[in-house]
Structure 1
Amino acid sequence: MKTKPTANGRIIAIGDIHGHALALRALTRAIQPSPDDVIVTLGDYVNRGPDSKGVIECLIELRDSCKLVPILGNHDEMLLDARNDRYAYDRFVMSGGKGTVDSYGNQKLNGIPASHWRFLESCVDYYETAHSLFTHANFCSYTPLQHQLSSVLRWTGIDEMEICDHSSGKVAIVGHAAANEIRDHGTCVCIDTGCGFGGVLTAYEPATKTIWQVTEGGEIVVRNDRQSDQSAP
């Protein structure tokens, strides 16, 4: 997916959220997105945390204040697959999905409203600008984004493949592989800082290397810090 942002808008990526609505709402308040801004969420909206329902509600609301580009994560893909497959449902629950189901107040998936299913179905595989590319997990260096395998885009962490420059020459912004700090490899930046594992939720603006970080409970840790190598607590 390619979209040309407006001249005055920022492009900001948000890492894996994993059911932590308090963190997401605190982060968006810190960012204060405007209608000209593009917010790219890197996926994994559900599982592990206590309020996947609240996360998706927040993302749907966010569309009213900026241009939201939601990328599909592997946990979100598991939830979509779980609708019609008993074994996919069991896999989903075993991968942290019980908290997701509980947040909707139902032991199965029929508590999830149609608007939330539509949101998940609207998520894209990737996002691309003039200088950056965004995926949930990874990319194949020599393959155009529109031809990338979903197994690479959503399931293969940057620690599972050699990190190489993409043939486009663009800097990749990814999540999926949780760590206690942002990992900036020059041509690839991983901003999954462990939200859902006791870490923090990170937002990152590639053009300026500005970062914002909040705890899972919504406490601001870093605001508008341009040093991308800050460690999360």
Structure 2
Amino acid sequence: MSERLIAIGDIHGCKVALERLIAEVAPTTKDIVVTLGDYVDRGPDSRGVIDTLIELRKSTQLIGLVGNHEEMMLEVVRDGQSPHGWLKYGGVETLDSYGFDGGLDFLPQSHEDFFDSLGDYFEYEDYFFTHAAYDPDTPLEHQPPEMLRWYTLNDGFPAAHISGKTAVVGHTAMRDGEILDIGHLLDIDTFCYGGGWLTAIDLYSRQVWQVAQDGRVRSTQAQY
């Protein structure tokens, strides 16, 4: 059993918030830290976010999940797909952060390796983690990727998973800055890039940390 089981919601290029959040949480080698995907796009420093997460791996047990924004980016960079959809949803900011000069080989090898290491879900004790959602009647190892990466809770909340475990997800932005807690599911994407907060939660103690894009720490932190 880890000392703490910590999840971090959608970061979206908010490096300042991420660095301050890490400083507040102060994860150790005894903690498991699960990042729920969407590291890139929309915010100002996607490259810096990846650098920060690579560095974080040296001091804690970091489990990284892949989000739909990583999927969009890699389909362009690696598979040669049209960039229009990605650029429409934040890809321009990502390219700017990498100093894009027209070539698609802008990712450093360390970043390529980081993206290669990302999984679609993580299961630990009484919890499982995905970027977006899940099919309640399908075992995690057989979940369709589009459900794990793309499904929005605006289209309806999934029922409790057949495993009986609590789901921890992001992707659907809670624009009021508050964690969504419906018992069998927590959504901790609290809209950092859009003026909300970057959220971390320790699933054991239910302690919450929240930091704004400019580095402000939220003074009143609810317990969920």
TM over 0.5: yes
After superposition, residues 115-130 of structure 1 pair within 5 angstroms as 115-130=110-125
Instruction: State the SS of the aligned residue for 1:217.
Output: coil
* 1:175 equivalent in alignment to 2:170: yes
CA distance in 2, matches of 1:53, 1:203: 21
In 1: Cα distance, 2:162 partner to 2:134 partner: 11
Over the aligned positions, Cα root-mean-square deviation in angstroms equals 1.4
Distance 1:17 1:195 in 2: 7
- Give 4+ residue runs of structure 1 displaced > 6 Å after superposition: none
- What is the distance in 2 between the residues matched to 1:23 and 1:43? 15
Q: Deviations over 1:52-88 (max 9, x none)?
A: 0000000000001100000000001111111144444
Within the alignment, does 1:49 sit opposite 2:46 as a pair? no
Structure 2, unmatched stretches of 5+, are none
Report the secondary structure of 2:119's partner residue: coil
More off after superposition, 39-48 vs 82-91: 82-91
Please report the TM-score for the alignment, with normalisation by the length of structure 1: 0.91
* Displacement after TM superposition at 1:227 (Å): 1.8
Q: CA deviation at 1:196?
A: 1.5
Match of 1:162 in 2: 157
Give the TM-score, by structure 2 length. Answer: 0.94
**Where does residue 12 of structure 1 map in the other structure?**
6
Paired residue total: 221
Cα deviation, 1:81-140, whole Å, max 9, x if unaligned, reads: 111444442221111110000001114432221110110111000000110010000011
* Letter of the 2:105 counterpart: N
- Decide which moves more: 32-41 or 84-93: 84-93
Asked if 1 retains the 8 angstrom alpha-carbon contact of 2:4 and 2:203, the reply is: no
Determine helix, strand or coil for the equivalent of 2:63.
strand
- Say which SS state the counterpart of residue 81 (structure 1) adopts: helix
Whether the aligned pair in 1 keeps the contact of 2:75 and 2:81 (CA below 8 Å) is: no
Residues 1:198 and 2:192 are matched in the alignment: no
2:184: which partner in 1? Answer: 187
Q: Does 1:136 align with 2:131?
A: yes
State percent identity of aligned pairs.
44
Kindly provide the amino acid, as one letter, of the partner of residue 30 in structure 1: E
Q: Could you say which residue in structure 2 is the equivalent of 1:231?
A: none
Output the CA distance in 1 between the equivalents of 2:73 and 2:219.
Answer: 32
Does the CA contact (< 8 Å) of 1:214 and 1:222 recur in 2?
no
Structure 2 match to 1:28: 22
- Asked if residue 76 in structure 1 is aligned to residue 70 in structure 2, the reply is yes
Q: Which runs of 5+ in 1 are unaligned?
A: 229-233
